[in-house]
Amino acid sequence: MDLGIWHITPGTIYFLLLLLHVVFARPLFPLPSKTNEIEKRPLQTFRPYNIAHRGSNGEIPEETAAAYLRAIEEGADFIETDILASKDGALICFHDVTLDDTTDVASRKEFSNRRRTYEVEWFNVTGWFVVDFTLEELKTLKVKQRYPFRDQQYNGKFSIITFEEFISIALDASRTVGIYPEIKDPVFINKHVKWDDGKKFEDKFVDTLLKYGYRGQYMSENWLKQPLFIQSFAPTSLVHVSKLTDSPKIFLIDDISVRTQDTNQSYWEITSDDSLAYISNYVVGLGPWKDTVVPASKNYLIAPTDLVARAHAHNLQVHPYTYRNENQFLHLNFHQDPYAEYDFWINTMGVDGLFTDFTGSLHRYQELSSPHPKDETANSILVKIAQMISQYEGL
């Protein structure tokens, strides 16, 4: 074999390490020290946050160590995850309450009798549920890409990770990287998983964060050292955890057809001015599905709602989700250009953060359009000149 064709990069190295982890089934990430005094490059706070939605999952299967490492390499401000609980109460990073869509569970004969039907968020769902597997069993499953039109080469290479392993990835990064964990389906988890000490899912979630030093109000000294947003679609969970930690929280808002899982409220109820005034006592922002902020008809955006303006009037940030590069996700207004979509949401809608599957794309756009003043390049200056010219031509 001609070794001359191989080019070793940092990305190659960490993928090799991850593959070794799979082969030898040994922990890749030691749990982080709670007293890490190394001076790191701080989190940027001068432009909207780049939130790596389930890691860089446009490239690598979601919620895996590789996806989070890739997102950090590509410039994410925050790495985002969904926290669920196993049968034996371990907190894991996984989006769906069922394992069907993003693991190889269906091919595992030893688990063929675990298929169940449970009620989840007002509907009956059938599949292999996370809550019916111990952590040891979950660790034997291999993760795969959710969408068939994305890169499939990493299917079966990586395992499910725990909440603590996720935290270690952020804390062990060479620069300050925030975390953005979701209290996922707390009504369902509290119904099916019980802890010996009588605590709730939300309590265990916060206990883990406090164990590793995550505390402090938004923009406090401690928050800037270990940035964190706690997110949930369940307003009662956010109210509950507000009694346990002063870390900033984000109220997630689903499509207009979806009711809240805990209070059974409609989209219109939870986005009323009275509701925004109430929830602003507990959260620092909203995380809405972007098509509820600016609706679409026949794949074209129509007139924006006033949700961003009303949220800002209540001193609430707005972090919409989810931005994806593929044409099937881009509205026709953007002419198959993800940069045009970012430009619209940042400069026209004025949002404060964006959940994206393609961290690198958002980072490159922001580095061109709004670099740190100390890092301004000739390219970014040319972009600003072009923007000024286009504005002048539009007069």
Q: What is the pLDDT of residues 216-226, one digit of tens each?
A: 999 999 999 99
**Mean pLDDT calculated for residue range 40-60:** 98
Give strand pairing partners of 249. Answer: 230
Residue 381 inside a domain? The answer is: no
Q: What are phi and psi of 93, to 5 degrees?
A: -100, 110
The residues near 115 (Cβ < 8 Å, ≥ 6 apart) are: 126, 127, 128
pLDDT of residue 373: 77
pLDDT of residue 10: 46
Residue 111 inside a domain? The answer is: yes
What is the C-alpha to C-alpha distance for residues 54 and 158, in angstroms, rounded to an integer?
14
**Mean pLDDT calculated for residue range 60-73:** 98
Query: How confident is residue 35, by pLDDT bands cut at 50, 70 and 90?
Result: very low
Does residue 106 carry a pLDDT above 70?
Answer: yes
pLDDT of residue 2: 39
Query: How confident is residue 388, by pLDDT bands cut at 50, 70 and 90?
Result: low
Q: What are phi and psi of 124, to 5 degrees?
A: -80, 130
pLDDT of residue 27: 46
Residue 18 inside a domain? The answer is: no
pLDDT of residue 372: 81
Does residue 34 carry a pLDDT above 70?
Answer: no
Does residue 36 carry a pLDDT above 90?
Answer: no
Torsion on CA atoms 269, 271, 273, 278, rounded to nearest 10: 80
Query: How confident is residue 183, by pLDDT bands cut at 50, 70 and 90?
Result: very high
Read off the pLDDT of residues 287-305 as tens digits, 9 standing for 90 and up. Answer: 999 999 999 999 999 999 9
Query: How confident is residue 164, by pLDDT bands cut at 50, 70 and 90?
Result: very high
Give the closest residue to 226 by CA, choosing from 207, 239, 237, 212.
212
Does residue 48 carry a pLDDT above 80?
Answer: yes
CATH number at residue 120: 3.20.20.190
Residue 159 inside a domain? The answer is: yes
Residue 32 inside a domain? The answer is: no
pLDDT of residue 225: 98
The residues near 386 (Cβ < 8 Å, ≥ 6 apart) are: none
pLDDT of residue 319: 99
Provide the number of structural domains found in the chain.
1
Query: How confident is residue 31, by pLDDT bands cut at 50, 70 and 90?
Result: low
Centre a 10 Å sphere on the Cβ of residue 302 and count the other Cβ atoms it contains.
12
Does residue 90 carry a pLDDT above 80?
Answer: yes
Torsion on CA atoms 365, 54, 79, 377, rounded to nearest 10: -10
What is the C-alpha to C-alpha distance for residues 2 and 28, in angstroms, rounded to an integer?
30
Give the closest residue to 150 by CA, choosing from 324, 6, 22.
324
Does residue 214 carry a pLDDT above 90?
Answer: yes
pLDDT of residue 127: 98
| Whole-model pTM over 0.75 | yes
Lowest mean pLDDT among 38-47, 244-253, 303-312: 38-47
**Mean pLDDT calculated for residue range 330-358:** 98
Top-confidence residue, 117 or 32 = 117
Q: Structural domain of residue 260, as residue ranges?
A: 49-371
Read off the pLDDT of residues 1-28 as tens digits, 9 standing for 90 and up. Answer: 433 434 444 455 555 555 544 444 444 5
Residue 394 inside a domain? The answer is: no
Residue 26 inside a domain? The answer is: no
Query: How confident is residue 374, by pLDDT bands cut at 50, 70 and 90?
Result: confident
Lowest mean pLDDT among 23-37, 135-149, 243-257, 286-300: 23-37
Residue with tokens 């569970």: 105
Residue 84 inside a domain? The answer is: yes
Query: How confident is residue 30, by pLDDT bands cut at 50, 70 and 90?
Result: low
Read off the pLDDT of residues 252-281 as tens digits, 9 standing for 90 and up. Answer: 999 999 999 999 999 999 999 999 999 999
